[in-house]
Amino acid sequence: MIKITKELINEHGIDRDEYNFILESLNREPTITELGIFSAMWSEHCSYKSSKKWLKKLPTSNDKVIQGPGENAGVIDLGDGDAAVFKMESHNHPSFIEPYQGAATGVGGIMRDVFTMGARPVALLNSIRFGDIKNSKTKHLLTGVVSGIGGYGNCMGVPTVGGEVEFNSCYNDNILVNAMCVGIAKINKIFYSKASGIGNSVVYVGSKTGRDGIHGATMASAEFDETSDEKRPTVQVGDPFAEKLLLEACLELMKEDIIIAIQDMGAAGLTSSAVEMASKGNVGIDLNLDNLPCRESSMTAYEMMLSESQERMLMIIEPEKEKEAKSVFDKWGLDFATIGLLTDTNRIVINHENEKKADIPLNILESGAPSYDRPYEIITNSKVDQSYLQNSDEKIITILKKLMSSPNLCSRRWVWEQYDHMVMNDTVLRPGGDSAIIRIHGTNKALAVCSDSTPRYCAADPTEGGKQVVAESWRNITSVGAKPIAITDCMNFGNPEKKEIMGQFAGVIKGMIEACQILDYPVVSGNVSLYNETNGRGINPTPAIGGVGLLDNLDHFSTPKIKRENDNIIILGETKGHLCQSVYAYEIFGDSKGLPPKVDLLKEKKIGDTVRDLIKKIKIDTVHDISDGGLLVALTEMSIAGNIGFNIDIKEDSLDNGFLFGEDQGRYIILVEDKNLSNVIEYIKKNNICHLIIGKSCGKKIKIGKNNEVDIEEIRDLYENWFENYLKVD
C-alpha cells in the first residue's frame, strides 16, 4: 500500500486546505487511487474552480439554443428537424510538449465531444498561436501542430475549413492549440450524458486503455518550467483510424433505441466520464476494473482511472440490450466490455483484483469541488495621443507591402493546404474568407462558421477586448450573409492566482457578456485553459471564439472576392482612424502603447443587420469586414482573391495612415454595381448608416490617390509566399 505523503499530495496539485477537506469528507486518509481521482476532478482543467463563478454570468440561451453549457457540446436549432452541435477546446500544454500528437489528439477529442451527442462531424476549425518567428522552437512547433491537425482530420474524412494563426513572443513557451468541431444531427436524436436507471450497465467501448496521458488533466492545470519536456508521457497518443471506426459504430447504435447515456473519455479519462455521468443522473456508480480492456500488462487501478488513452467512450445501457449493442461494436472491430452498474448510493466505488480501491461520495467530486472567488484587478493601458502614428516616413505602398507580407497578416494558404477542406463535398466556401460555408447535406441551407481572437486588444483593455472578439465573430458570420446564432469559446489565460491575470479573465468575461446580450449571440459550450505560463511569464489573454450562423438560402451569399470591374466601393461604418493597438502600429513602429478601438455594440448590430439585408434583398455578393490592418489591407485581400484591382479616389488630404490602416470597429466594405447603387444608398440612408463611396474596382493595379500604385501580382507574391519562404530558411 502506497503511503500518502506531503510530497505526494503536492505532486497531485492538491493544496493543504483541499486535502483537509478530503480527510473530513472521507473521515479517513485516501487511497492512492482516490488521491488520483481527487487530483483529476479538482484540477483547474476539470473543475473550473477559478473560472466557474464568472462563466455562470455568460448569456447561454436564445430561441435557437437547444442545449447550452454543461454537456459534451452545445446544440442549436437549424429548422426542419436539423440541429448543429459544436464546441471548441484547448490542447495547449500537450501540443507544446509533443506538437504532432498534442494537436492530433486535440482534434480527435473535440470530434468525440460532437459525435457523442449523436451528430456527424461536418467541419473542423482551429485557432493556433506560436512564439516569435525568430524563436528557435517556432518552426518545429508550427510544422508539428499543422501536421497533427491535418493528419487526424484528414484520416477521419472531416474537412478543416477555417482557422487563424498568430505569432507573438508571449507564446514562445506556451503555444495555443484550440480545436473546434461542428456536427449535424436530428433534433429528435440528440444524446446526453445523464446516467439513469438503477441496475443499468456501465459499458466501455472503443480502443483499449494504456498508460498514455496519465495526469494529463493535472498537467494542463499547472504552469510550465524548465522541466516541461519531462512531461512527455502525459501526452496522449491518437489513432484516427480507430476513431473513425468508433464514430461509425456509435452513430449506427444511435439509430436504435439502446443508448440511455453516453460520455466521451476526455480529460481525466474514465474518472471524469464515470463521475460526470453519475453525478448528472443523481445516481451511484460501481466499477469493476478487472473487466477493463487494457493494452498494457499489470496496470493498476490508479493508472486505469487516470489514463487518457484516446478513442474511448462510456455508455449506459439496459442489461438486456447489451448483446445487441455488442454486435455493432464487434462488427467494427472495437472493444465492448461491461465494467460496472448504476446504484442508488450516490457514490463511486471502484474494485480491482478483489480489493476496493476507491469509495467516494460523488457530490464532493462534482458539486462539492473547490470554487474560488479569486481577487482580481482589471488593468488597462493608458490612453496616449496617437498623432505620432500618423507620421510614417514610408510611402503608402511601402507600408502596404510590409503589412501584407508580415507574419500576422499574410495568407494562411500554406497552412490550410495541409488540410483536406473539400472532403464530404459540402464545403461551399473554403478557408481564406471571413467565414467558411458548409452545406447542410441534402438541403439548400448552410452553416457559416469561423474562429476569431484579438489578444492584443484584450491585453490593452480586457473588457473592450472581450466585446471586440465576440463582435468580430458576429461580423464574420454576417459578412457571408448568414444569421449569427451562437458561439463556443476557449478561454486561454495565465495564472489566475495573480490578481492582474484574474483581472484579465474577469474583464474579458464582462465584455463578452455585454456583446453576447446586445448581439443575441449566446455562449453554448466551451473550455477554459489557465496557467499558460512558463517560469512566471504568461501569455496575452486569448479568448478564442468559434461562431456558428445559418444561411437559409444558398442561392445567394457573399464573399470577399472582387468579382467585376467598375463596381462601386463603399465603406459602411464610421472611420475615425484609430491606430493604437493596430497591426500597422506594431509592424511599422514596433508600438504596443495605448488603448484598442472602442466597440459600439448598438451600431455594430444595426450595421450588421443592414449588411445581411443588402445581401439578401439586393443581392450584394461582395462583402468583407474591416479588421486587422484596416481598410487598405482588407481591400487588397479582396483584390488578390478576385485578381481585379481598385482605385481609391477621394480627397488626397483624407488619405492619411489612420484612414488607410486604422482598425475602427463595426465596418464593412461592400461592392455595388452601378445598376444597384441608388437602391443601396437609399437603404443605407434609411437605416441611418454612416457610409462613404471611396472608388471603383478596375484593372490589375492597386491605386490609392494620384501617386500610389502597385501591380496586384507584386503584392500577391509577398502575401502568398511568406510561410514557404519562412520555412525554407534554416
Measured distance CA(464)–CA(305) in Å, rounded: 42
DSSP E strands in 65-159: the ranges are 65-67, 74-79, 82-90, 120-130
**Surface-to-core class of residue 300, CB atoms within 10 Å of its CB (0-12 exposed, 13-18 middle, 19+ buried):** middle
Residues 6+ away with beta carbon under 8 Å from 137: 131, 172
How far is 343 from 357, CA to CA, in rounded Å? Answer: 17
Reduced to 3 states, what is the DSSP secondary structure of residue 535?
coil
3-class state of residue 150 by DSSP: helix
Is 45 designated active site?
yes
Alpha helix stretches (DSSP H) within 390-492: 396-404, 413-416, 455-460, 462-479
Question: The C-alpha cell of 254 is what?
Answer: 444511435
Q: How many other C-beta atoms lie within 10 A of the C-beta of residue 425?
A: 8
Beta-carbon-side half-sphere exposure of residue 208 (alpha carbons within 13 Å): 10
The CA–CA distances, whole Å, from 222 to 170, 215, 435, 496, 530 equal: 17, 11, 34, 11, 8
CB 604 within 8 A of CB 663: no
Written as one string, the DSSP assignment of 297-336 is TT--HHHHHH---SSEEEEEE-GGGHHHHHHHHHHTT-EE
Q: How much is the CA Rg of the chain, to the nearest whole Å? A: 26
Cβ-contact 504, 541 below 8 angstroms = yes
Strand locations in 344-459 (E)? 347-352, 355-361, 427-429, 436-439, 446-452
Say how many Å lie between the first and final Cα of the chain, rounded. 53
Task: Report the phi/psi class of residue 531: left, alpha or beta, with left for phi > 0 and alpha for psi in -120 to 50.
Answer: left
| Nearest-angstrom CA–CA distance, 482 and 446 | 9
Task: Count other Cβ atoms within 10 Å, centred on residue 81.
Answer: 11
Reply yes or no on whether 91 is catalytic: yes
Active-site residue, from 91, 93, 215, 352: 91
Question: Which H helix or E strand runs over 344?
Answer: none
* Burial class of 501 by CB neighbour count within 10 A (0 to 12, 13 to 18, 19+): buried
Give the residue carrying C-alpha cell 501569455.
539
Cα(466)–Cα(463) distance, integer angstroms: 5
The answer to whether 530 and 44 have CB atoms below 8 angstroms apart is yes
Question: Exposure string (b/e) for 133-144, b if CB count within 10 Å is 16 or more?
Answer: bebebbeebbeb
Q: Where would I find the beta strands (DSSP E) of 91-214?
A: 120-130, 160-167, 176-186, 201-206
Q: Which of 12, 45, 215, 691 is catalytic?
A: 45
The percent of the chain in helix, strand and coil, each rounded to the nearest 5, is 40, 25, 35
Q: Which residues are catalytic?
A: 45, 91
